[in-house]
Amino acid sequence: MGQCLICQNWVSEQPSLAQLLMMASIHAPVLCRSCQQRFIRIEGPTCPICGRQQTKTTVCHDCLRWQKEGSLPLVNQALYQYNGAMKQFMHQYKFLGDYRLRQAFSAEIQARIKQRAGAMIVPIPVTPKTERTRGFNQVLGLLGNLTTTAALETRHVDKAIPQSSKNRQQRLLTEQPFQLTAGADKLIRGNRIVVVDDVYTTGRTLHHAAHLLKQAGALTVTSMTLAR
Ligand SMILES: [Zn+2]
Ligand SMILES: [Zn+2]
């Protein structure tokens, strides 16, 4: 018995019979039932590219925009809808720096990633400044003790030159928020990569990351996020 990480109420939940029969998958609940119920798992029809919950299985407007900009499709798998509860969760986890919250979804996201046997896991990095003030990288928090490859690091983006004065290639290059870490190209080449981030909003971050990894010779690049 412990306290819910979100509302601090006591969690007295007993494991179900099904959980008892699969001893390995038991972990004490860290959220109470009423907090859990506010998070909505993505199920049913989704955008076939980014994994957004929809009423149909057509390509969503964000993905159409990426197509129009000439970006290669990036297949993303997301676990939960980015609803009010999830936004509040991210606020408490990232901006208030409540590191305990990583436990709320880490088992689930790790189980999903383990299904991608043999894939190299590349987490989206945070800037050194963010890491200092927050004290952690929220993506690594979710990934727990899975083996990850720190292939990406943030780079300084020069915002001094107006975007309108650049062509698309220049824009992609100057907007690129990441660069490869030293020696990462050798690790990436020929590998299947799954890039992991906490939230997929417009997809910009993940598209930039995927672009860089493909350029470096990755065999395939897909992504996974906790929320979309
Ligand atoms: Zn609660
Ligand atoms: Zn989409």
Over its length of 228 residues, how does the chain's per-residue pLDDT go in tens digits?
Answer: 789 999 999 887 666 666 666 554 556 789 999 999 999 999 999 999 999 999 999 999 999 999 999 888 999 999 999 999 999 999 999 999 999 999 999 999 999 999 999 999 999 999 999 999 999 999 999 999 999 999 999 998 766 666 666 665 666 666 899 999 999 999 999 999 999 999 999 999 999 999 999 999 999 999 999 999
> What class is the 43-227 domain?
alpha beta
Which of the 8 DSSP states describes residue 164?
G
Give the pLDDT of residue 157: 76
> How far apart are alpha carbons 55 and 180 in whole angstroms?
38
The one-letter amino acid at 109 = I
Structure tokens at 71: 């970006």
CB 213 within 8 A of CB 195: yes
Give the pLDDT of residue 167: 64
The one-letter amino acid at 217 = G
Ligand nearest to the Cα of 66, by number: 2
> How far apart are alpha carbons 116 and 46 in whole angstroms?
20
Ligand 2 midpoint to CA 77 (Å): 10
Ligand 2 midpoint to CA 57 (Å): 9
The one-letter amino acid at 213 = L
Ligand 1 midpoint to CA 106 (Å): 17
Contacts of 75 (CB under 8 A, 6+ apart): 49, 50, 51, 222, 223
The shares of helix, strand and coil residues in the chain, as percent rounded to the nearest 5, are: 40, 15, 45
CB 228 within 8 A of CB 53: yes
Residues whose Cβ atom is located within 5 A of ion ligand 1: 4, 6-7, 32, 35
Ligand 1 midpoint to CA 133 (Å): 27
Contacts of 45 (CB under 8 A, 6+ apart): 53, 54, 55, 56, 57
Ligand 1 midpoint to CA 149 (Å): 34
Ligand 1 midpoint to CA 30 (Å): 8
Tell which residue, 196, 179, 50, has the closest CA to residue 123.
196
Ligand 2 midpoint to CA 228 (Å): 10
Kindly report, as residue ranges, where domains of CATH 3.40.50 are found in the chain: 43-227
59 CB burial (10 A radius; 0-12, 13-18, 19+): middle
Q: CA angle, 185 as apex, 182 and 191 as ends, to 5°?
A: 140
Rg, Å, the chain Cα set = 19
CB 177 within 8 A of CB 208: yes
Ligand 2 midpoint to CA 98 (Å): 30
Tell which residue, 198, 202, 205, has the closest CA to residue 177.
205
Give the pLDDT of residue 2: 86
> How far apart are alpha carbons 109 and 115 in whole angstroms?
10
Ligand nearest to the Cα of 37, by number: 1
Ligand 1 midpoint to CA 89 (Å): 11
Ligand 1 midpoint to CA 36 (Å): 7
Give the pLDDT of residue 172: 60
